[in-house]
Copies of this chain bind each other. A is one copy, B any other.
Amino acid sequence: MRKWRGMPKIVDHDARRRHIAEAVHRVIHDKGMERVSLREVAAEAGMSMGTVQYYVTTKDQMLLLALERIAVWIGDRVAAVAARQSTPLDVLRATVLELLPLDEERSYLNRIGLAFQASSVVDDDQAAAMRLGVPALLSLFAEQIRAAQTAGQLAAHLDAEKEASILYAFAQGIVNTTLVGHYTPEGVAALLDYHLARLHAE
């Protein structure tokens, strides 16, 4: 599926937008945020530039669309992996691991997320979109920590909110160093397990 040419009307607008957003992702991943342009994205998406403009009124909106799409992508992945766990501590561990660049797809997502993290410092709309996911993750973490505490999996004296914040910061902070190869996937997992082990009820 590469080239459409003059066959209108039965199109799924959401699918088109998704297609464009994914082309933006690939451009960001392969060439970097500074190389994102309407032309480059159109070429990557296999459409004319005019068609991209038909679905997206401005470049900023195109980037925002790509950002929102990747946020729901990550959100879906986290929700799916969390649902697959049995104990609160497993949810916690699996969720953090899901956020880290431990295989190709997660590295892909993290590279793009990193680019948006930087570009959102200067773009208010992107910053707002970026902020959306954070409280959800933090409260998921805190909730699982509390559940693990009542289940006797984690020490009762822990401050769930603070532990959640620390855990999330750790996950965010280890990304870049791992992406550049400073840690192996096994090393990162060992680091996480080391940290979680100290939170255990003895």
Contact of A168 among B111, B117, B173 (CB under 8 A): B173
Q: How far is the CA of A123 from the CA of B115 in the complex (A)?
A: 12
Q: How far is the CA of A123 from the CA of B30 in the complex (A)?
A: 11
- Oligomeric state, in copies: 2
Interface string of A174-202 (1 = CB under 8 A from B): 11110110110000001100110010000
A15 on the interface (CB 8 Å rule)? Answer: no
Contact of A166 among B31, B114, B182, B191 (CB under 8 A): B191
Interface string of A39-72 (1 = CB under 8 A from B): 0000000000000000000000000000000000
**B170 contacts A130, CB within 8 Å?**
no
Q: Known contacts A33-B118, A114-B118, A159-B194: does B169 contact A174 (CB below 8 Å)?
A: yes
**A114 contacts B115, CB within 8 Å?**
no
Q: How far is the CA of A121 from the CA of B175 in the complex (A)?
A: 11
Chain B contacts of A118 at CB under 8 A? 33, 114-115, 117-119
Q: How far is the CA of A177 from the CA of B118 in the complex (A)?
A: 12
A16 on the interface (CB 8 Å rule)? Answer: no
Contact of A130 among B115, B172, B174, B180 (CB under 8 A): B180
A147 on the interface (CB 8 Å rule)? Answer: no
**B173 contacts A195, CB within 8 Å?**
no
Residues of A within 8 A of B (CB): 31-34, 111, 114-115, 117-123, 127, 130-131, 134, 159, 162, 165-166, 168-177, 179-180, 182-183, 190-191, 194-195, 198
